[in-house]
Amino acid sequence: MSRWAPDARERLETAALDLFVENGYEDTTVAQIADRADLNRATFFRHFADKREVLFGGEDKLARLFADAIRAAPADATLTECLQAAFAAANVAMTPQQRAKAAKRVLVVAANSELQERGLLKHARMTRSITAALRERGTDELTARLGAEVGMLAFTIAVERWMQAGNGEPFALHAAAALSDLQVRAAELDSRSRLSS
Amino acid sequence: MSRWAPDARERLETAALDLFVENGYEDTTVAQIADRADLNRATFFRHFADKREVLFGGEDKLARLFADAIRAAPADATLTECLQAAFAAANVAMTPQQRAKAAKRVLVVAANSELQERGLLKHARMTRSITAALRERGTDELTARLGAEVGMLAFTIAVERWMQAGNGEPFALHAAAALSDLQVRAAELDSRSRLSS
């Protein structure tokens, strides 16, 4: 087994997902994952704190991409423009390869409540990361929290649509559309028009 | 130990909270909780699936109160009016006694990531419960999901303000104010006015 592997993290993720789909999450050990990736257990634990984390590394990366893009947005950008900048930045992480992995992940996570809880923790961290980045721009506290919730809902809806759509459709298109759909509805929370569609 | 105790659930909750605060969540056993409540382990497990659940029974109750109130709202109620009805219904569960318990709960949960994950799961279930109740009224899918997220954020903010405020302030007042604060901001997601406050 090679001790030095520049693509170790990705190999471990791929091996873990394949094994989780084949044998179930519960019945897969870290040793089996490392073995399938042609690496050893120590290498696994250099990259992931536990077996659950191997499924959620992408969320940590996205949280950083979101926050960096919001911080880098022009000083006069609206909240919607900040979120659009975040999703545009996320586009680099949303490759067709990631899309195939995401489909497997959905299956694995749906079958295990412990994984659902970890997924919610990651979702909450992404929300907090967006809130903090908006707050740093001088956005008032409630608007920052609302913007982060609406942004994460737009992101979730965009991922669902991106997964359902054919290959080749860029994620950023779905993200912009989902955000726009929510923005229209957010402006109408107290209207009667959409309650009986 | 009395086998039949009409207030067993509440006694177990109180005993658990006190022990968690005194000795820490990790170091408290179900046997100790039952003992403090003058009940036995079997009674504990008739009321709660595990040690974590003793902290989150209120969320299940609130999810039911929210959904029932939304279903019972007048046919022409707006989304905001549906959420207001939900919070008004929740008021019965938000007693000064609950407020004292909630303060202890915040301390216990903040110290334990496992509990935070369970809290997020309950939060997600409450959101889904509101979404489902809105959907049943004919609210379109995206509006229902947005309304549930905004509603749960309003609820969270209202609980924070209710905890910080002096005793005697009814929860429903904070809930109505938080919802109104968010509604104003939701209508302005694309404006430049609030980004630099």
Question: Is the minimum CB–CB distance between A167 and chain B shorter than 8 Å?
Answer: no
Write down the pLDDT at residue B146.
Answer: 97
Minimal Cα–Cα distance from B134 to chain A, Å? 8
- A24 sits in the region (left: phi over 0; alpha: psi -120 to 50; else beta) called left
Q: Chain A residues with CB inside 8 Å of B113's CB?
A: 121
CA distance B57 to B59: 5
This model of the complex carries an ipTM of 0.88
> pLDDT digit string (tens) for B138-154?
999 999 999 999 999 99
Indicate the SS3 state at residue A195: coil
> pLDDT digit string (tens) for B61-96?
899 999 999 999 999 999 999 999 999 999 888 888
> pLDDT digit string (tens) for B91-121?
888 888 888 888 899 999 999 988 998 899 9
Question: Is the minimum CB–CB distance between B150 and chain A shorter than 8 Å?
Answer: yes
Q: In the structure, what pLDDT confidence band is assigned to residue B60 with cuts at 50, 70 and 90?
A: confident
- Say which of B78, B157, B195 has its CB closest to residue A79: B195
CA distance A172 to A162: 9
> pLDDT digit string (tens) for A153-187?
999 999 999 998 876 788 989 999 999 999 999 98
Q: Does residue B19 carry a pLDDT above 90?
A: yes
Question: Is the minimum CB–CB distance between A193 and chain B shorter than 8 Å?
Answer: no
> pLDDT digit string (tens) for A82-122?
999 999 999 888 888 888 888 899 999 999 988 998 899 99
Q: Of B27-41, B57-71, B158-172, which gets the smallest average pLDDT?
A: B158-172
Strands (E), B66-162: none
Question: Is the minimum CB–CB distance between B192 and chain A shorter than 8 Å?
Answer: yes
- Cross-chain Cβ contact B146/A196 below 8 Å: no
DSSP letters along A28-75, please?
A: --HHHHHHHTT--HHHHHHH-SSTTGGGTHHHHHHHHHHHHHHHHS-T
> pLDDT digit string (tens) for B126-140?
999 999 999 999 999
Q: Does residue B194 carry a pLDDT above 50?
A: no
